[in-house]
Amino acid sequence: EQQPVQTETWKARSLEELIRILHRIFAEDKVSVEEVQELMESYESNPEEWLQYAKFDQYRYTRNLVDNGNGKFNLMILCWGEGHGSSIHDHTDSHCFMKILQGNLKETLFEWPEKKGNGEMTKKSERVLRENRCAYINDSIGLHRVENISHTEPAVSLHLYSPPFDSCNTFDQRTGHKHKVKMTFYSQFGERTVCVSMRQHPP
């Protein structure tokens, strides 16, 4: 396959290198969405490099902080057991990159509900993201639900959010009503975060 002439094409050969390059990119004033998406996709998932962050919970998916990007971004690993899924949520005016490290995740896009919305939310599209693919979303694109629809395989994904945020809105698909929730980490830098209220968990 012919490589087109480009100004800058990153290739992350390891998770450590990916994080290093991300720090460099986000140190600049302007960051290109395409550049970050290509970089994330270029990293070929190697479980040995991220297994320490991949802590699963029996009951629901988990968010495990990997790097806090000097305050410019949050990089985290999400672990989805069989059948685990998120609610429909927004991204609090931030950029969201989601790369599949293992298994598959189904992403369903929704339109923002009408202000006085009282009907079923409108599905825009859905797709299944395969291993190593990287998806991107922000609030102007819409809302989404992410699910591991497999009944036999767990899934692991790598997420980058910039700027970092710790709360968002979840939406009821049948009515469009929204509800603000605080987001918490199941583990940080490979260490299980204890003393977190189970009631306040992410969407």
Partner 1 sequence: LPAGLSQWFPALEVLDVSGTGLAELGAELLALPRLHTLLAKNNRLGGPGSLPKGLGQAPLGRSLRVLNLSGNRFAEVPPALLGLRGLQSLSLGGNRLHGIPPDIQELRSLEFLYLGGNFITSIPPELANLPSLSYLVLCDNKIQSIPPQLAQLHSLRSLSLHNNLLTYLPREILNLVHLEELSLRGNPLVVRFVRDLTYNPPSLQELAGRTVKTRNVPYAPSDLPENLVRYLSLASNCPNPKCGGVYFDSCVRQIKFVDFCGKYRLPLMHYLCSPECSSPCSSASQSSTSQSESDSEDEASVAARRMQKVLLG
Residues making up the binding site for Fe cation: 89, 91, 144
Of these, 5, 194, 195, 198, which contacts partner 1 (CB under 8 A)?
198
Are residues 57 and 202 in contact, defined by beta-carbon separation less than 8 angstroms? no
Of these, 177, 188, 190, 193, which contacts partner 1 (CB under 8 A)?
177
Our CA dihedral for 199, 141, 153, 49, rounded to 10 degrees, sits at -90
Helices (H), 85-171: none
Report the residue number, 17 or 172, with the smaller CB distance to partner 1: 172
Q: How far apart are CA 169 and CA 94, in angstroms?
A: 13
Of these, 13, 20, 174, 192, which contacts partner 1 (CB under 8 A)?
174
Cα-Cα-Cα-Cα dihedral sign, residues 108, 75, 83, 117: negative
60 binds partner 1 (CB under 8 A): yes
Of these, 30, 115, 116, 199, which contacts partner 1 (CB under 8 A)?
199
Site for partner 1 in 111-170 (CB under 8 A): 149-152, 170
Of these, 44, 83, 125, 192, which contacts partner 1 (CB under 8 A)?
83
Q: Which residues are annotated as a binding site?
A: 89, 91, 144
Beta partners for 108?
126, 145
Strands (E), the chain: 62-67, 74-80, 88-89, 95-102, 105-110, 123-129, 134-137, 143-147, 155-162, 167-171, 178-182, 187-188, 191-192
| Span interacting with partner 1, options 1-9, 29-37, 82-90, 91-99, rule CB under 8 A | 82-90
Helices (H), 51-159: none
For the CB of residue 192, give the shortest distance to partner 1 in the complex, in Å. Answer: 18
Contact residues: partner 1, CB under 8 A: 58-60, 82-83, 85, 87, 149-152, 170, 172-175, 177, 179, 181, 198-199, 201-203
